[in-house]
Structure 1
Amino acid sequence: MLGMVLAGLLWQKAQALDWAAVADAFTSIAPWRWVGAAMAAAISFWAVAQYDVTAHRHFRTGRPDTAARRAGATAIAVGQTTGFGPAVGAALRWRLMPDLGRGTVLRITGFVTLGFFAAWGTIALTLAVPVLAGHAWLGLALLPLGLAAVSALLFAFPHLNVLGRQCDLPSIPAFLQMVALAGCDVLFAGLALDLMLPPETAPALPVLIATFTLALGAGMIGGTPGGVGPFELALVTLLPGTATPELAAALIAFRMVYYAVPCILGASYALLAPPHRQPPAPALRPRLSLGPRAELPIAAQADHRAIATLQSEGTALRTPQTLTLFLGAVEGPLAPLLPALHRAARDENRLPCLYKLTGRDAVTARRAGWHMAAFAVEAVIDTARHDLCGPDYRQLRRFLRKAEEAGLTFGPIAAPDWERMTEIHSAWEDSHGAERGLTMGRFCPLYMSDKPLFGAWHKGRLIAFTSWLQTGGTLSLDLVRHEAETPQGTMHGLVQAVIGHARKQGIAEVCLAALPHPALPGRLKGCAGLTRFKASFAPRWRPLYIGAPDVLQLALAAADIRRAILAPAPLRRSTHDLWSLDALVDAPPDDALPACRRAG
């Protein structure tokens, strides 16, 4: 309604124009200006069409960038000219990609629409307004601050709950890309308008582009076809003294180049082009039971995917901002996976990251140009050399004596009592807080049922248990749970029993998991006791590394991974590819889910 009122006001203003002078000004526009404006409009449309590429990557549709870009350009060219842009755009996207389904098409349209408004608003408030206020220099400070503020919000709140459903907001890389695309759009669209104006009447280019940016927003909010009415009135209002036949002629020429011609081309393409159909490619299933690192199956608890080349294969974890190669290569060398990880992260609007790499792999990544940093050390015990004699084991011997005096017994759990183990887990959460996740073990029988389990009993009653991950010659600690009050030496005796069992089974290493690197400033609180506990076994400390293409991406990736560990997403139990088939057989979902309730 408001747009129609403004369009009426524009019509009244148009009655006062000398249309003969407008015609003269229109015909006097030089041919090279038409060509230049058309080229600028083409670049502007390339930028806005790229929004669809970003949207398809966000929703992981798997469509080629070219097909997404063409559908986006068609939808925007026709939608912005005819009015009702989101509805028209959704219809045209569905026409060009029918097998996406209506739901995905609507999500892509909403993503593009809201994403553009967010990016446009950032540019308008931080750049356009200061320029028109005569303080262009202020934009140099406001733009970084605005980008940082929105990025901080997206980092803190990566998801939004709408009507009981979780919506994933754009990642920080996606938002920054959309702002850059919106800047490219208004820059070249404003340049197209500038080329249509006579030089003697055109304001300075920065002022014109800032004015165009705000007028464009008024036209979009007005909702009229092509923004007619609100756009022109905003332009005339923000550029006093320019309501001349030359401006009217320039606006008519601009609308021909930027609206009419793209609309005709877009409509023709939508009518004549065959729909793009692409059968869904079968996802490569990550192999979580193989590889040189026993911790790999932890990835089953998080959103994960395979990264593969002809030479190598690895498993990557998804966090809101990153696609993280976990533990290096499952098979083959690391080097071929690095460019593949770059491409995969780009195709999901995420930052590429390497996590928990060994020193050897860190050297390989550093040679390939990645920025690497030691962030943790893991305690590794050589079972053949582990001997309770000697001064290094004095503290361990003391705690083992206390466990023996308390009458504790330790050993494998052959038939898990999930009800009792759930009680222990609940007591542990009550005293320690919610469990962590991502790369740290979480309590769920569906996940644990095919893992080695060891328990501690006091007077025949289970009071503590651990789960472990095994591959080749390594047994790695996965999960530790115990009652709030246990006799001294309980966990020492439990781990010592595991070491003894591993030695008998010919397992060369027992890994007690990782701690923050001693060189890191501000190590996590509560690590002192855990460090003393692990140090009592006189382990070999092995450094682990995190990496990203540069320092800024490394800082953001590390913060995002830490956030995902401290506040993990709920465990998913509806997909059959999350848990091994053996686990599903051994622990039917209907029986095991109650035991997972507190964990997810």
Structure 2
Amino acid sequence: MVKSKLLQSGDVVKRLLPLAIGLGFMGLLWTKTQDLDWFAVQQSFEAIPHWRWAAALLASVISFWAVAQYDVIAHRHFGTAMPARAARHAGAAAIAIGQTTGFGPVIGAAIRWRLMPALGHAQIARVTGFVTLGFLSAWALLSATIALPLLIGQSWLAFLLFPIAALGFGGVLLCYPELRLFGFKLNLPSLRAMSQMTLLAGCDLIFAGLALHLLLPPEIAPSLPILVAAFALALGAGMMGGTPGGVGPFELALLALIPASDVAGLAAALIAFRLVYYVIPCIAGLTYAALGRVETPDLEIVQPLVQQGSRAEHAITRQSRTQGLRQKTAEAELLETPQSLALFLGPSRGQIAELLTPLRRRAFTQNRHACLYKVTAQDAVQARKNGWTVTAIAHEAVIDTRSYSTTGPERRQLRRFLRKASKAKVVFAPIDAPDWPSLHAIHKEWEEQHGQERGLTMGRFCPLYLLDKPLFGAYQNGVLIGFISGLSAPGVLSLDLMRHRSDIPNGTMHGLMDYMITWAQEREIDEVCLAAVPHPHLAKRLSLPPGLTRFKASFAPRWRPLYMAAPNRMALIICALDIMRTVLRPPAIPYTTAERWQVDALITGETAPLPCLTKLRETG
């Protein structure tokens, strides 16, 4: 009880301290106004030309348009399906009223809920928090790296500090797209969203500073860059002060940063700025909040595709969050990552050229970059013709079962490994009735040796995922020591998982792979894909170990190149880095509660799988 009271009292102090500081600044400002010649202030106010009033009002409109775009980005981030126009208008009203009355986040949330009640209180709170924290982050970046160097007369520092800080901030968002606080998961803005918010914050500060610059007497107005820099820092003082409109801290900070000989002229300009930038927008915001139309989300169904394409690897997407992209004569499966929306393996129906523009549009409305991932050479040619940047990232090993045999000089190394497995008395067979506890034990031992399994476009161990997949096991003295799984499509069988114990005899995995190829051959499956490895030029550049490539090369396959593409080079780099990060550190498989219970039951051997629980993804 005592601890609870202490926490409550501490919370009250935290809330009241900024307001107390702000009121203190208001008191200081009041004492300064006592010495003003108010008749001179009135004369300076009336001397402001009409065209300057109009220009300042126009600059304020542009400034509010920029900050209102934050709401559009926030709604895209949370996938609310709210029309951009409605989000922009609600955001402008919320910011105009909130910044003038004080307690911006609280007032802003109330205005947004008034105009968009269908989203609910929780989603409105998320949008408001996103807008507030996004602006503060962008403001801090611009103020620390550009405004401060300008004010201290070292403008050249901005050309050094801003790129370094922006790259560092972007690197953090790229490497850590999620933040966990007190058990809650927060999805941070994507690089695209944060870049847009930084540009919009810069636009807001420039045009707000321009509005003030237009209202100042020309003889005391500093250069526009200096005034904008001073305005940015004064705005921060006003936000931290906690008073309505930042009154007190804002003016005192501005007076300290741009001292003027004509105090009456400066006071008149500040009063005029308050009218143009605070009072008029606040009145307009209140009018819109009172009379504006209540908006509802414009829902769009983006569920995953029901029918998979001809590529067997499409089944891997069941373990990740995906969307279906459908056009009249074409459709494809899209993989979601924090930075990208990737069309995976090419279209499942139709031509890829028809999907490029809709893919870019869909990615833009989700604050992501569009890309193509692991597409064929034919699809890469179509993307390049449409102006996309294309690069080879992998090549997959393909076996034609109609001509496959272990004879010939090209498979000499394979025969050597097969003899070692035979000498160790390792036998191979399909796994028709999986012993999930044994398979799970092998998987855990494999992870202890090789590290966490990869994900996204690489299969992961999960009984529900493997239920309908062909499984093949390697046995020594009747004990399972390794297994592989395959992915099936018409006429194709593709390698998926490979798991084994740490002490298996040499040649065991070669024997398993050879057995799977022979199994497909007997069932007249024309092609077995041994899956992809990094493209030689990429492997050389990244100094990747050649072990997996040597393993697949021993089967003398035909190598088929796979490509990645994006609308421009920067988007290609961002998408490639983000996909690589997600592959190496995949998020948890999106189980439902029932599926999680069923997986736990299977790997502990407590129950048999239920047919209704073979679906892995939550589509809600």
Q: Is the TM-score greater than 0.5? A: yes
Write the mapping of 1:380-529 to structure 2, written as runs, cut at 5 A.
Answer: 380-520=398-538, 522=540, 527-529=545-547
Farther off after superposition, 458-467 or 227-236: 458-467
8 A contact 2:302–2:325 mirrored in 1: no
8 A contact 2:81–2:298 mirrored in 1: no
Q: Does 1:314 align with 2:332?
A: yes
Q: Does 1:246 align with 2:256?
A: no
Farther off after superposition, 526-535 or 141-150: 526-535
Distance 2:447 2:545 in 1: 18
Shift, 1:575, TM fit: 7.6
Write the mapping of 1:31-430 to structure 2, written as runs, cut at 5 A.
Answer: 31-242=50-261, 244-278=263-297, 280-287=299-306, 290-430=308-448
8 A contact 1:468–1:479 mirrored in 2: yes
Q: Deviation string for 1:534-575 (max 9, x for gaps)?
A: 111110001111111222221222111111111111112118
Q: Deviation string for 1:252-290 (max 9, x for gaps)?
A: 111111100110110111111131123644443323x52
Farther off after superposition, 306-315 or 525-534: 525-534
Q: Is the alpha carbon distance of 1:243 and 1:461 closer, same or farther for their aligned partners in structure 2, counting shifts above 3 Å?
A: farther
Distance 1:138 1:433 in 2: 44
Q: Does 1:592 align with 2:602?
A: yes
2:609 is aligned to none
Please identify runs of 4+ aligned residues in structure 1 that moved more than 6 A: none
Shift, 1:434, TM fit: 1.1
Q: Does 1:562 align with 2:580?
A: yes
8 A contact 1:444–1:595 mirrored in 2: no
8 A contact 1:236–1:243 mirrored in 2: no
8 A contact 2:304–2:333 mirrored in 1: no
Q: Is the alpha carbon distance of 1:234 and 1:205 closer, same or farther for their aligned partners in structure 2, counting shifts above 3 Å?
A: same
2:6 is aligned to none
Q: What is the SS of the residue equivalent to 1:330?
A: coil
Q: Deviation string for 1:348-400 (max 9, x for gaps)?
A: 11111211011111101111111111111110000001122211121212222
What residue identity is the alignment partner of 1:427?
E
2:565 is aligned to 547
Q: Deviation string for 1:412-471 (max 9, x for gaps)?
A: 111110011011111111111111111111101011111111111112211111111111
1:535 counterpart (549, 553, 569): 553
Q: Is the alpha carbon distance of 1:136 and 1:526 closer, same or farther for their aligned partners in structure 2, counting shifts above 3 Å?
A: closer
2:46 counterpart (22, 27, 31): 27
Distance 1:325 1:292 in 2: 15
What residue identity is the alignment partner of 1:262?
P
8 A contact 1:445–1:595 mirrored in 2: no
Q: Give the TM-score normalised by the residue count of structure 2.
A: 0.92
Distance 2:539 2:460 in 1: 27
Q: Is the alpha carbon distance of 1:77 and 1:508 closer, same or farther for their aligned partners in structure 2, counting shifts above 3 Å?
A: same
Distance 1:266 1:432 in 2: 58
Distance 1:521 1:465 in 2: 27
Distance 1:275 1:575 in 2: 35
Shift, 1:89, TM fit: 0.3
Distance 1:535 1:156 in 2: 33
What residue identity is the alignment partner of 2:365?
D
Distance 2:257 2:444 in 1: 64
Q: Tell me, which stretches of 5 or more residues in structure 1 are unaligned?
A: none
Distance 1:63 1:568 in 2: 29
What residue identity is the alignment partner of 1:331?
R
Q: What is the SS of the residue equivalent to 2:538?
A: coil
Q: What is the SS of the residue equivalent to 2:171?
A: helix
What residue identity is the alignment partner of 1:591?
A
What residue identity is the alignment partner of 1:293?
R
Distance 1:311 1:334 in 2: 10
Distance 1:594 1:49 in 2: 53
Q: What is the SS of the residue equivalent to 1:349?
A: coil
Shift, 1:403, TM fit: 2.2
Farther off after superposition, 516-525 or 566-575: 516-525
Distance 1:157 1:491 in 2: 36
Shift, 1:333, TM fit: 0.7
Q: Does 1:573 align with 2:583?
A: no
Q: Is the alpha carbon distance of 1:2 and 1:69 closer, same or farther for their aligned partners in structure 2, counting shifts above 3 Å?
A: same
8 A contact 2:149–2:157 mirrored in 1: yes
